[in-house]
Amino acid sequence: MRNATIKDVAEQAGVSLKTVSRVINNEPSVHARTREKVQRAIEALDYRPDPSARSLRSTRAYAVGLVYDNPNAHYVISMQSGVLAACRANGYGLQIHPCDSTSPRLADELVSLAAQARLAGMVLAPPMSEKPELIRRLTAAKIPFMRIISARKDPQDGYPCVYVDDRDAAYAITEHLIQLGHTRIGFLWGGRDHRSSPERYQGYEDALKDYGIALDRKLILPGDYSFDDGFRGARKLLALKDRPTAIFGSNDEIAAGVLAAAHSGGISVPWELSIAGFEDSPFSKQSWPALTTARQATEEIAHHAAQRLIGNLQREANGEPLEEGNEGFSPELVVRGSTAPLRGTPAKR
């Protein structure tokens, strides 16, 4: 049985091909009753527009690129799912492009990608979204984009973004550990090329300062957003003569590595060591004990970023002003079994 075509939809709805095209492209010039007729015909025929074929037939492009460089598989999958949902809802295709954020030819690579793949625009995940030189180059090449960045507030820097308040969420996690009676709290960094890493560290440092706890540099170690770095970092911290009673890993993969290191060393979690992560990935719920973390709605964030990009593309095509302002998200503290009051110390209220 052959797939339905745009001509079939037009015939069933009793409208022109151009009207069907306008409905598919979400153009505002179509009367509500006509739009409803066309949408009913699309559903009845199970018509699915082919974005690549549509791009070839017109001067407009109907594909969005998702550009990322992140070792965290859960983060990448959630990002892809969110962007894909927005693309499908608006009749756009999705081009997934992993890349090396440290490459000196990154800007050339993405400009070439946009031309060769006929991309309408790009969603830039961290750390690409946080590289000023790359942003300026894409702007100069007139390639539309939407950034996903770490920031406490709207940066208002003239470039569109969806931003995540990592600092306040990290503050809440550290405050939670302090209120449980912990004062020797280790901190394991994520990748320094991600703005989220210094933002999360700032939340940790600010909480210690606000509660009058001296910063101990021996409890702070560099690393990347990976299980292996969490395991190695935890082994170093737990080997200290005056070891920490709690460790905050900059994401759940790091925290899972800390948990494995504690188990391998015969250290009881949470009674001898409290552990917290960041992200609320699936294995944060599946580990034993389940991890205290910050719930970051990565899929929703990515969906909003793609939706805002596509909305701006459609506004531009219709000669309308682009959406003003940027959208922010705040991860929320989730307390689970990996954190508990310091033994012999009542939790503070």
Instruction: Name the more confident of 9 and 166.
Output: 166
Omega cis (within 30) before 341: no
- Calpha distance 291→20 (Å, rounded): 50
Q: Does residue 346 register a pLDDT over 50?
A: no
**pLDDT the model gives residue 282:** 87
Q: Which residues contact 314 (CB under 8 A, 6 or more apart)?
A: 25, 26, 27, 90
**pLDDT the model gives residue 136:** 95
The alpha carbons of the chain give a radius of gyration, in whole angstroms, of: 24
Mapped onto helix, strand or coil, the DSSP state of residue 248 is strand
pLDDT one-digit tens code per residue, 121-130: 999 999 999 9
- DSSP at 332: E
Least confident of 195-204, 220-229, 318-327: 318-327
Confidence of residue 151 (pLDDT cuts 50, 70, 90): very high
Kindly report the backbone phi and psi dihedral angles of residue 246, in degrees, each rounded to the nearest multiple of 5, phi listed first.
-150, 150
8 A C-beta contact, residue 82 and residue 303: yes
pLDDT one-digit tens code per residue, 171-202: 999 999 999 999 999 999 998 889 999 999 99
Q: Which residues contact 330 (CB under 8 A, 6 or more apart)?
A: 164, 165, 168, 169
- DSSP at 116: H
Q: Does residue 76 register a pLDDT over 80?
A: yes
- Calpha distance 69→101 (Å, rounded): 6
Q: Does residue 231 register a pLDDT over 60?
A: yes
Q: Does residue 154 register a pLDDT over 50?
A: yes
**pLDDT the model gives residue 317:** 81
* pTM attached to this predicted model: 0.79
8 A C-beta contact, residue 253 and residue 281: yes
Which residues make beta-bridge pairs with 121? 64
- Calpha distance 155→316 (Å, rounded): 23
Q: Which residues contact 209 (CB under 8 A, 6 or more apart)?
A: 215
- Calpha distance 294→224 (Å, rounded): 18
Burial of 28 (0-12, 13-18, 19+ CB in 10 A): exposed
8 A C-beta contact, residue 264 and residue 273: no
Confidence of residue 19 (pLDDT cuts 50, 70, 90): confident
**pLDDT the model gives residue 74:** 82
Confidence of residue 145 (pLDDT cuts 50, 70, 90): very high
Opening angle at CA 262, ends 72 and 230, nearest 5: 25
**pLDDT the model gives residue 48:** 72
State the average pLDDT over residues 201-215.
Answer: 97
- Calpha distance 143→67 (Å, rounded): 13
**pLDDT the model gives residue 205:** 98
Spacing of C-alpha 320 from chain mean position: 28
8 A C-beta contact, residue 318 and residue 325: no
- Both structure tokens of 124: 């830039």
Dump the DSSP string for 281-298. -HHHHHSSSPPBEEE--H
Spacing of C-alpha 263 from chain mean position: 30
Report strand pairing: 293-295 vs 332-334. Answer: antiparallel
